[in-house]
Amino acid sequence: VQLQESGPGLVKPSETLSLTCTVSGGSTSDYYWSWIRQPPGKGLEWIGFIYYSGSTNYNSSLQSRVTISLDTSKNQFSLRLSSVTAADTAVYYCARGTAVVGPADAYYFDLWGQGTPVTVSS
Amino acid sequence: SYELTQSPSVSVSPGHTATITCSGDKLGNKYACWYQQKPGQSPVLVIYQDSRRPSGIPERFSGSNSGNTATLAISGTQAMDEADYYCQAWDSSTWVFGGGTKLTVL
């Protein structure tokens, strides 16, 4: 299974960033399909996920601007981030989240895309 | 919101054991995992469920988690292990990352 991000590498301030992740070699069932970003020289920031059932959850710091959707017919999931500013400049990764449910639940990302750089600039 | 704290940097001599820690409130009651990220590359899962290694990860990588601290240990550290390491846990239906630790092999 492989993940591949696609979308514009340059977005103007105040506009909407849109990225798509294509899942090849497998289906979108049974996983948490997530977006994670990494600003230049900084750490990883989880943006949000969509479960294969369609339920979503987002980082509270971005929740008002983020939408993640899933297209099972195309084996793709997408990210939309509205009203972007320079602070949204980052490498954006899509990733597959796996859950192991038990007395304590384990959630981890076992598969990552190669990442796509997005710059917000006029 | 839940926070995970890591030291910004750790140095180790080749062949020695590197220890990277991650702290969070009652982290030992959750499962922690660890990612390795080399420059220009995507993160790679090296430890999940506190101490399990994915297929293909060398045995020199090990993990533990108790109290408020999760620990990643790399025994017999090699130059190829020089990278950024991130811990991660799950809290209230959100994925939480630590700030990352840069491991330097001197």
pLDDT in tens, B27-66: 999 999 999 999 999 999 999 999 999 999 999 999 999 9
Percent of chain A with pLDDT over 90: 86
Q: How far is A17 from chain B (nearest CA, A)?
A: 21
Q: According to the 3-state scheme, what is the secondary structure of chain B?
A: CCCCEECCEEEECCCCCEEEEEECCCHHHCCEEEEEECCCCCCEEEEECCCECCCCCCCCEEEEEECCEEEEEECCCCHHHCEEEEEEEEECCEEEECCCEEEEEC
What's the mean pLDDT in B93-104?
A: 96
Given this model, what pLDDT does residue B100 score? 98
Residue B92 CB burial class (10 angstroms; 0-12, 13-18, ≥19): exposed
pLDDT at residue A103 above 80? no
**Which pLDDT does position B53 carry in this prediction?**
97
- Which chain B residue lies closest to A35 (C-alpha atoms)? B95
Average pLDDT, chain B: 97
Q: For testing the chain B interface, which of A1, A47, A109 should be mutated: the one with the most B CBs within 10 Å?
A: A109
Q: What is the pLDDT of residues A27-84, one digit of tens each?
A: 888 899 999 999 999 999 999 999 989 999 999 999 999 999 999 999 999 999 999 9
The pLDDT of residue A7 is above 90? yes
Shortest CB distance from A43 goes to which of B93, B95, B97? B97
Residue A104 has what pLDDT?
76
Residue of A59, A93, A108 with shortest CB distance to B94? A59
